[in-house]
Amino acid sequence: MKLLRLSFILLFLSFLPVHLISQEEYDVKEHYNKTEVDIPMRDGTLLHTTIYSPKDTTKEYPILMQRTPYSSRPYGKDQFRSLISPNEYLMKEGNIVVYQDVRGRWMSEGRYDNMRAIIPKKSGNEFDESSDTYDTIEWLIENVDNNNGRVGTWGISYPGHYAVASLVDAHPALKASSPQAGIGDFFFDDFHHNGAYLLSYWRATALFGYDKTSPTTEAWYELPGLGTQDQYQFFLDVGPLSNLDEYYGEDNIFWQQLKEHPNYDEFWQSRGIIQHLEDIEPAVMVVGGLFDAEDLYGPFNTYKKIEETSDNYNIMVFGPWSHGDWARQTERQAVGNVYFGDNISENYQRNIETKFFNHFLKEDGDGDVDLAEAYVYDTGARKWNSYEAWPPKEAESKVFYLGDNQELTNEATNNEESFVSDPAKPVSYNNEIKAVFTPREYMTGDQRFAARRPDVLVFETEVLEEDMKLTGEILARLNVATTGTAADWVVKVIDVYPADSEDYEETMDHLDMDNYHMMVRSEVMRGRFRNSFENPEPFEPNKKTPVNITLQDINHTFKKGHKLQIQVQSTWFPLIDRNPQTFVPNIFEAEEEDFQKQTHTIYGDSAIEFSILKE
C-alpha cells in the first residue's frame, strides 16, 4: 500500500488560517510569553494547553481560546506560532490566547471520540466536550495572571465544532463565541450529505480513525495515497466501497463506524450538536463561507437553532469564501475561476470579528454593538448585504417547474424527461484531473461539461431582462421514477454567464467566462432516505415518487443578461460514492453485481422553490 508521508502536513495546513503577515512585521515572541500546561479535567485526564500571555502586565486581558484536534503546535517553550488569535488585529492589540489539544489528540491524554456525544445531564466524573471546555475555562480563570475574567472561544472547521460545544452548559466566564464553519452533524456535514457518503473525504478517515497510545508531538497515522492524480479513475477502479478495506483495517475505528452505521441511527444522532443548542447565554457570531465545500449545514443550522431557542446576542456572517478563506488575508477574493472582490476578508476581520470580540470581552458587552444581525455577501452582485433577520422576512416565494424543451416554467406540465444512469460511467463533480482532499473549487466550478452529458437534465430560463435576487433556502420538490429500486438525486443551481463576459485573473487558461456555467448551490439526496434518514426504503420500480431536497441558503443576484439554470443528475463522482441503483441494506457492503444501469425519469410537475428579494 502506497502511503504519502507528507500528507499529514498538507492536510493539517488545509485546516489552518493563513494570514499574509511576515515574521519581520510582527514577532509574537517579542510581545508574548508562552507557557505549556496540562490541565486536569473532572475525571483526572490531563489536556495539553498552550498559553500566550502579553508581556505588558500593566493591564488585564480577556482570554481567547481555541480547542483543536489538529495540534496546538509548535511544542516547546521556545517555539512560538508566528500568528495567534483569530486575526492580526486581535493579536496586535493584546489578548491572552490559548490553544488546547482536545482529549485523545496529540499531547493530551485520554481517548479521542470523533464528534463525541453531548451528555445532557452529567453526573460525577462524566465528561463531554462541553465539560472539558468548562473545566479548562475554570482552570484558566483561576491560574492565568492578568486575565479580566472574560473568555471567548473560536475555531474553524472541527475547532469550530468545539466552539459550538463550549456554548452548551457554558461556563459563566464564557461571554462570546464565534463558531466558524463548525460541523453540526456528520450525517449532513463533511462525511455525508443527506446520507450519501462523501467519497472525497475517504482519505481523511486516517486522520480521525486511529487511536494513539500516549501523548505525542508526531503524527501517529498516515494517509493512503492514490498513486495517481486521476482520483475519478482510482475510485472507479476500486469498485465497491468494501474494496477500500485494503487501505483501512479494523484498527481504523472511524472506518468501521462508517461501515457499521449507514443509516441515521442512534450512533449518528447522538453525535449531532444542533439539537443541544437551547437557552444559549454567551454572545454568538456564526461565520461561514457561501462556497464552503465542507461545512454549510453546520453554520446555517447553528445560527438558526440558536435564533429559535435562545434570547442571547446571536448574529451570522457569510461571505464569498471557501473553507476558512475569511481567516486569510488575500487582496483578491476568488473561489476557483470566479472573482468576487478585493480585501473582503480583511474588512471582515477588522470591522466585524474584532469589533465582536472586543465588545463582549473588553467592553463587558454593555450597550449596543454596531453590528448587523446578518452580513451575507451577494455572490452575483458582488457586494455585502446587511439584514435585520435571516432569511430576510420581506422575501417572496417563487416556484419554477421543470418543463418542456429544457425550460424552467411558471406552471407544472405533463412533461417527462428520462435518462440512463450508468454506475460504470458516473458524472464527475468537476472536469479536472487533480487528486485533492477538499474539492474547494468545484463549488463555483464551470458546469458546461455536465450540461452536455446525456445523463444530466438541464432546465433554464430565457435570458433575464432584469436582475433577479434569490436569497435564503432552496427546496427542490422532485417527482421521479426509476426502473431500479435505488437512486441518488442531485440538483444544481447554475448561473449561466452571457457570451460577452470577460475573464478574471483567476480563470483557468483553458476556460473562458463567456457562457460560463457557475454553480451557485448544489445538493444530493440519497433516495433511500427520502422519507426517513433512520429507516431507508427502496423505490418501487417505475412508480412516480416524490423526493424533496433542501439546498443550503444562497444570496445571489442573477444579473440581467444571465440565465438561471437547473441541472438534475443521479451520479456525482467521486464527490459521493456510487449508488448501486439496486437496493441493498448497506451500500458499504454492496457487491459488484449490485451496480446496475437504470433509467430515471423526472416529471414536469417537479418544482424548485426559491425566495426572491426585490430591491
Please name the residue that has the C-alpha cell 458546469: 447
Q: For 445-458, what is each residue's pLDDT tens digit?
A: 999 999 999 999 99
Indicate the pTM of the whole model: 0.95
Q: For 236-262, what is each residue's pLDDT tens digit?
A: 999 999 999 999 999 999 999 999 999
The stretch 421-437 carries a mean pLDDT of 90
CATH number for region 31-119+127-185+271-387? 3.40.50.1820
Residue 368's pLDDT band, with cuts at 50, 70 and 90, is confident
Rounded-to-integer distance, Cα 366 and Cα 359, Å: 8
Q: For 3-18, what is each residue's pLDDT tens digit?
A: 343 344 344 444 444 4
SS (H, E, C) 157-214: CHHHHHHHHHCCCCCCCEEEEEEECCCCCCCCCCCEECCEECHHHHHHHHHHHCCCCC
Rounded-to-integer distance, Cα 212 and Cα 597, Å: 43
Q: Is residue 419 pLDDT above 70, yes or no?
A: yes
Q: Is residue 566 pLDDT above 90, yes or no?
A: yes
* Nearest one of 369, 366, 168 to 282, comparing CA atoms: 168
Please name the residue that has the C-alpha cell 448574529: 315
| Strand-pair category, 283-289 with 174-180 | parallel
Rounded-to-integer distance, Cα 261 and Cα 542, Å: 29
Q: Kind and range of the H or E element at 469?
A: strand 468-482
Where exactly are the structural domains of the chain? 31-119+127-185+271-387, 192-269, 396-613
Please name the residue that has the C-alpha cell 511576515: 22
The stretch 479-490 carries a mean pLDDT of 98
Q: For 262-302, what is each residue's pLDDT tens digit?
A: 999 999 999 999 999 999 999 999 999 999 999 999 999 99
The amino acid at residue 398 is K
Residue 73's pLDDT band, with cuts at 50, 70 and 90, is very high
Between 172 and 437, the higher pLDDT residue = 172
Rounded-to-integer distance, Cα 185 and Cα 394, Å: 30
What DSSP string runs through 21-52?
A: --TTT--HHHHEEEEEEEEE-TTS-EEEEEEE
Q: Is there a contact between 285 and 86 (Cβ–Cβ < 8 Å)? A: no
pLDDT score at 366:
77
Triad 439, 390, 533: Cα angle to 5°: 55
pLDDT score at 150:
98
* Nearest one of 134, 139, 70 to 108, comparing CA atoms: 70
- Residue 123 CB coordination number (10 Å): 6
Grid coordinates representing 613 are 428579494
CATH fold, domain 192-269, is alpha-amino acid ester hydrolase ( Helical cap domain) (1.10.3020)
The stretch 586-604 carries a mean pLDDT of 98
Triad 600, 605, 608: Cα angle to 5°: 90
Q: Is residue 305 pLDDT above 80, yes or no?
A: yes
* Range from 419-423, 481-485, 510-514 carrying the lowest mean pLDDT: 510-514
Please name the residue that has the C-alpha cell 464569498: 320
The stretch 354-370 carries a mean pLDDT of 90
φ/ψ (deg, to 5) at 131: -70, -35
Rounded-to-integer distance, Cα 37 and Cα 49, Å: 5
Rounded-to-integer distance, Cα 184 and Cα 191, Å: 12
Percent of the chain with pLDDT over 70: 96
Rounded-to-integer distance, Cα 397 and Cα 394, Å: 10
Rounded-to-integer distance, Cα 380 and Cα 385, Å: 12
CATH fold, domain 396-613, is Jelly Rolls (2.60.120)
pLDDT score at 9:
39
Q: Is there a contact between 170 and 287 (Cβ–Cβ < 8 Å)? A: no
Q: For 158-190, what is each residue's pLDDT tens digit?
A: 999 999 999 999 999 999 999 999 999 999 999
pLDDT score at 4:
41
Q: Residue 52 pairs with which residues in a beta bridge?
A: 34, 97
Rounded-to-integer distance, Cα 98 and Cα 91, Å: 12
Q: Is residue 72 pLDDT above 70, yes or no?
A: yes
The amino acid at residue 309 is T
Q: Kind and range of the H or E element at 138?
A: helix 129-143
Between 438 and 226, the higher pLDDT residue = 226
Please name the residue that has the C-alpha cell 498516515: 222
Residue 20's pLDDT band, with cuts at 50, 70 and 90, is very low
* Nearest one of 81, 29, 8 to 50, comparing CA atoms: 81
Q: Is residue 19 pLDDT above 60, yes or no?
A: no
Q: Is there a contact between 62 and 148 (Cβ–Cβ < 8 Å)? A: yes
Per DSSP, the chain holds a count of helices (H) and strands (E) of 13, 27
Average pLDDT, the chain: 94
